[in-house]
A and B are shown apart, each in its own frame.
Chain A
Amino acid sequence: MNRRDLLVIGAGPAGMAAAAKAVKLGLTVTVLDEQPRAGGQIYRDVERAAKARGAMLGKDYVYGASLAAEMRESEIEYLSGSIVWAIEDGFRVSYTRDGSGAQIEADRILLATGALERPMPLPGWTLPGVMTAGAGQILLKQSGVLARRAVLVGTGPLLYLIAAQMVRAGTPPLALVETQTRSDFIRATRHLGGALRGWRYLAKGLTMLAAIQRAGVPRFTGATDISVEGQDRAEAVVFTCAGREHRIECDTVFLHHGVVPNVQAARSLDIPHEWRADQACFVPQLDGWGESPVAGVFIAGDGAGIGGAKVAEIAGRLAVLKIAEAAGRLSVKERDQRAAPLRRMIRRELAARPFLDLAYPPFAGALAPVDETIICRCEEVTAGDIRSAAKLGCLGPNQAKSFSRAGMGPCQGRYCGLTVTTLLAGANGQTADQTGYYRIRPPLKPVTLGELAAMSVTEPVGKE
């Protein structure tokens, strides 16, 4: 079997930068990525789309094309369209490509699997026409597809970015329904000092807001009691703002209240995670290089804790320094010397984070939804079902999964895991760390039985 010094999973900023760096340091590298073309979600399909609509998408997006080109031009085995479904000791990684199963072995693994939208369960969020704001961006970046009559709901800079891009494309959203409040902003201002060191981010935010306002897009802030109405598809967003109920008819609703690490691969390796209160999510335990307590497994990018694309890129390079040192390609001294400027860059890039996290906190109404709200989209389990499970003694998500089926569907809990943890913690009066998370097992993504069977080397194993 093909054995590599380093296997990188994910070709977003962290994965692309890490792979290119690792090859320069003399390592043999394979990159497995699910998408047909490199970029991850932030730079989705960037080499094609930057040409078609770079001006609309902006400089920050177009920058990703240089990372993709650098990776493409390196001596990297880059396997696009590869869906990883098992990572086992050794390391042995099983994946699907072109409809058949394959395996690769590597001494070290870098997980660069990025972020997911924080689940935002609201009444009506499963209706066709309701999507994540990230999905709206992907439609625009990759396919040049724009929603004609959309309402953006939630909070955070990404909401402004997509709104600004829609304005530039000539189809401004019908409204921004924002959940952050004035007091969130006031609380955040004590971190304004740090934020000013990251002033570029704030300046960008203000420019986007100005463009949105110039286009006459109505903004509602401090919105509560948000739901999506519709029979067979989204027809309107209903919410309360300043004591008044509003109803805005629309065809498309884009939801967003932050992104969270995609922990599926890390969890499947039993890497311990801890709750990060400032980002309201679990993050993997890592050392200063991104190595996990499972020796040889590194994590870089948003999967290690949300930092954004630039931090991901630098963290990918930082992790490779330790990987190269461990593989005998760098001395400890060289490693540490090269790491110092990278660490400074990461600190600078993260300076605005505490301000942003406090100014745009997750929407409370979606962290602990009302009983009738579906929280597990796959199995259509409600918040009330989870609270009932708690009453039957479920202290954590795994027992609650057995009782409610939450997390049993094909998405493997990606869009209900944090909600279930939060609901159980609330109902049982425990912390998120005490409550824990789903035990993630293979397959990380569904795989056909035929494909699995074709990988069987012997007759049915270990069966009486």
Chain B
Amino acid sequence: MKTASPFLELDSVERVELSFNGELLHLPDGSNLAAALLASGVDAFRKTPVSGAPRAPFCMMGACFDCLVEIDGVVQQACMLEVRAGLEIMSPDTTGAFDEPA
């Protein structure tokens, strides 16, 4: 999932720790979450519920819904969120298995 980043970051901003699918990442505080995940080398944000195909940000402006991630049990657009310390980010669950009640 995480490779050498195909992106270059120009700014050097203080970084904070958060996790994506359990992996710890250090991303620029207050920056756009989708951009920061891409720049850190995250390739696929999720798999589609229809075919299981990998997806990553496409429009970066809140229109396409390809950058969906799950935070605190709510599926939301990474490109509309900002990096905060301690975020636990998951790819949305699309396995179709029976979900255990919390």
Contacts and interface: CB of A to CB of B under 8 A. Distances in A.
Interface stretch (A122-130, A190-198, A239-247, A287-295): A122-130
A135 B58 contact: yes
A135 B57 contact: yes
Contacts of A128: 43-45, 54-56
A149 B6 contact: yes
Contact of A145 (B39, B61, B62, B65): B39
B10 interface: yes
Interface string B36-54: 1011000111001011011
Interface stretch (A59-67, A87-95, A326-334, A375-383): A375-383
Contacts of A127: 54
Contacts of A251: 6
Contact of B65 (A149, A380, A409): A409
Interface residues of B, number: 37
Contact of B6 (A83, A126, A132, A148): A148
Given A129-B43, A143-B32, A232 B63 contact: no
Given A34-B62, A131-B60, A135-B59, A143 B36 contact: yes
B85 interface: no
A144 interface: yes
Contacts of B6: 129, 147-149, 251-252
Q: How many residues of A sit at the interface, in one of the four size bands?
A: 35 or more
B44 A233 contact: yes
Contacts, number: 118
B61 A41 contact: yes
Contacts of B38: 139, 145
Interface string A411-440: 100110000000000000000000000000
Contact of A415 (B48, B51, B63): B63
Contacts of A410: 65, 68
Contact of B35 (A52, A145, A445, A448): A145
A217 interface: no
Nearest to B66: A377
B83 to A, nearest CB: 10
Given A145-B35, A147-B7, A129 B56 contact: yes
A171 B10 CA distance: 11
Given A145-B7, A146-B9, A378-B65, 5 more contacts: A148-B7, A232-B44, A380-B48, A414-B64, A415-B58
Interface of A: 34, 36, 41, 52-53, 83, 116-117, 126-132, 134-135, 138-139, 142-149, 169, 171, 232-233, 251-252, 262, 377-380, 409-411, 414-415, 445-446, 448
